[in-house]
Chains A and B, each alone.
Chain A
Amino acid sequence: MEPLYGPLSRSIRLYEVGFHEIVEFFYKLAEAADILKGEDRPLPYAPAKPPSDLLEPVEGTISVKHGFPVFQKGGVVMDVTNTEQAGIAEDAGAVAVMVLDKLPYDVRRAGGVARMADVKVIEQVMEAVTIPVMAKVRIGHYYEARILEAIGVDMIDESEVLTPVDEAHHINKWAFKVPFVNGARSLGEALRRIYEGASMIRTKGEAGTGNVAEAVRHMKQIMNEVWRLRSLPSEELLRVSRELGVPSQLVEFTAKLGRLPVVNFAAGGIATPADAALMMWLGADGVFVGSGIFKSRDPAERAAAIVLATSMWDDPESVAEAQRMISEEKSMMGIDVRKLKPEELLQVRGAES
């Protein structure tokens, strides 16, 4: 059979190893790290590998946590602030909703400290839709994350859109049963977050601008850095891993796969079906849309159109059909990233640790 959507062998989405081998790799990495740290470590680095013969069901394993985002691939996660928006997102075909107190565009305008959303609102959304519900916590805020885990949120976004509480440390995500997604602008940031236990990476882009330029830059940066790794001899990989601040095994494994070893979405400034298709073409596994939908004047149509364009990105006719479903005059106005002052950029938050 002729490959229908380009040769599968060259697709960045077809891993060279099976999912279980990726999980196995993380267990080995955790074991090595635990031996190095010794017995008196304050937190377990990662859950122990379940025995080969299970008598009881076991929750929170790496297969279960890293498996969750696998089933978000090809989909659109939509930012919502209430149950009505969540219903529109579900009906449009969103794979999940992300509950926020304010859309990133409004966070930017409001200023002040941006925190986790209202627990009651998150719970209302969880009761209103059948699709997964995500919510954001501030970078380094263990207790916002513990609260979201306790109420049963399906995935936690440790997000630069909210005001960080710890500039030096991110959350040790291995210590949670619920999977995490983290933003990244470069391979180093992505691999550090993965080493801390992130089950999924997304580009940071520049949230709340309606301008996809920064997401494009970050996706290309990560892809280019991965491709560069593939041409390096192993002693060079060792040097790179020291520079990036992660174990060499993780860098070698990434080089071998030719992509990040976890699901990698695009986020930050996606406002139209064409923006979403562009990010998929650049190699994203799926997209997050923040202000782009509910800051537009045609949210229901736009949500459905972005879902269609994200899934059918490799069929230009379908993307054109999606683009026809919206009208440009109803798009969010957007902000030119170059006009933002350095202190107004959200993407630099948590980048150095």
Chain B
Amino acid sequence: MRVGVLGFQGGVYEHVYTTRRALEEVGVSGSVGIVKKPADVDAVDALIIPGGESTTIGILAHRTGVLDRIRERVAGGMPVLGTCAGAIIMAEKVSDRVLGEKSQPLIGSMSIEVVRNYFGRQRESFEAEISIEGFEKAFRGVFIRSPAIKSAWGRARIVGWVNYRGEKVGAVAVQDGLMATAFHPELAGDTRIHRFWIERALAFVKK
């Protein structure tokens, strides 16, 4: 499986590192490369959209023509893992906790509603345990100016939650080969989420 990491901005190399490890652990032969041009999108079987500033990544992906190409490939069934900003870019519905609706270029292929900067500013960024359906042990999530996954509909389902000061907040969602996390699994030193996504993605990768 050829996995691409959208390489415009953000935690790109952290995903390259973690995905390489995860492929090895799952025992799937594959490679990990960086995607910055429309032709690069066609050269991969599955894509990771990393954390970063969703406005920056969206603007650059739009300008280079990559955004439209990804949207087409996703419509054709390409699996995608979007983390933090990546989850925002994947979401059909996005708002900002303070500023409300703001227009920004998005892919919008996943039937989820995401609220940007849900937990506050960097000062309020945190680590917490996330319970994920099918995971025996909790996953330590690093939330950095993270969004929240407020709701899911259609084929999308929220499968992971963080208990945030008494509130159960959506942190992981899946929809066929698409997966979104509000936090940063690539910082955790725990490959379970990448492995989980790779194994799901295999079913959707065109042979």
Contact = CB atoms under 8 A, between A and B. Distances in A.
The residue in B51, B116, B140 that gathers the most chain A C-beta atoms within 10 A of its C-beta is B140
Interface string A1-44: 11111001001011100111100000000000000000000000
Contacts of A19: 14, 17, 186-187, 189
B127 A95 contact: no
Given A95-B56, A152-B121, A57 B164 contact: yes
Interface residues of B, number: 65
A308 B62 CA distance: 11
B165 A57 contact: yes
B16 A14 contact: yes
B56 A132 contact: no
A93 B12 CA distance: 17
A106 interface: no
Contacts of B195: none
A54 interface: yes
Nearest to A133: B121
A308 B60 CA distance: 7
B10 interface: yes
A18 B128 contact: no
B28 interface: no
Given A20-B188, A57-B165, A71-B52, A154 B142 contact: no
B128 A57 contact: yes
A53 interface: yes
A104 interface: no
Main secondary structure of the interface of A (DSSP, over half): loop
Interface in A39-58: 50, 53-54, 56-58
Nearest to A148: B123
Contacts of A1: 2, 31, 33, 43-44
Interface string A293-322: 000000000001001100110010010000
A14 B128 CA distance: 26
Contacts, number: 186
Nearest to B140: A54
A286 B37 CA distance: 19
Interface in A202-256: none
B69 interface: no
Interface in B17-60: 17-18, 21, 31-37, 40, 43-44, 51-53, 55-56, 59-60
A155 interface: yes
B94 to A, nearest CB: 10
Interface string B190-204: 100000000000000
Contacts of A3: 33-34
A126 B98 CA distance: 10
B93 interface: no
A74 interface: yes
A20 B99 CA distance: 33
Given A4-B36, A94-B56, A154 B122 contact: yes
Contacts of A273: none
Given A4-B33, A90-B55, 10 more contacts: A1-B33, A8-B34, A54-B129, A58-B127, A63-B187, A67-B125, A75-B9, A75-B52, A178-B123, A307-B60
Interface of B: 2, 7-14, 16-18, 21, 31-37, 40, 43-44, 51-53, 55-56, 59-60, 63-64, 84-85, 96, 98-99, 102, 116-117, 120-129, 138, 140, 142-145, 162, 164-165, 184, 186-190
26 contacts: A1-B44, A4-B36, A4-B37, A5-B34, A13-B13, A14-B13, A18-B17, A20-B187, A57-B165, A67-B144, A68-B125, A70-B11, A71-B144, A72-B52, A73-B13, A73-B52, A75-B9, A93-B60, A94-B53, A95-B56, A127-B98, A131-B56, A152-B121, A152-B123, A178-B123, A312-B8
Interface of A: 1-5, 8, 11, 13-15, 18-21, 50, 53-54, 56-61, 63-64, 67-68, 70-75, 90, 92-96, 126-127, 130-132, 149, 152-155, 177-179, 286, 304, 307-308, 311-312, 315, 318
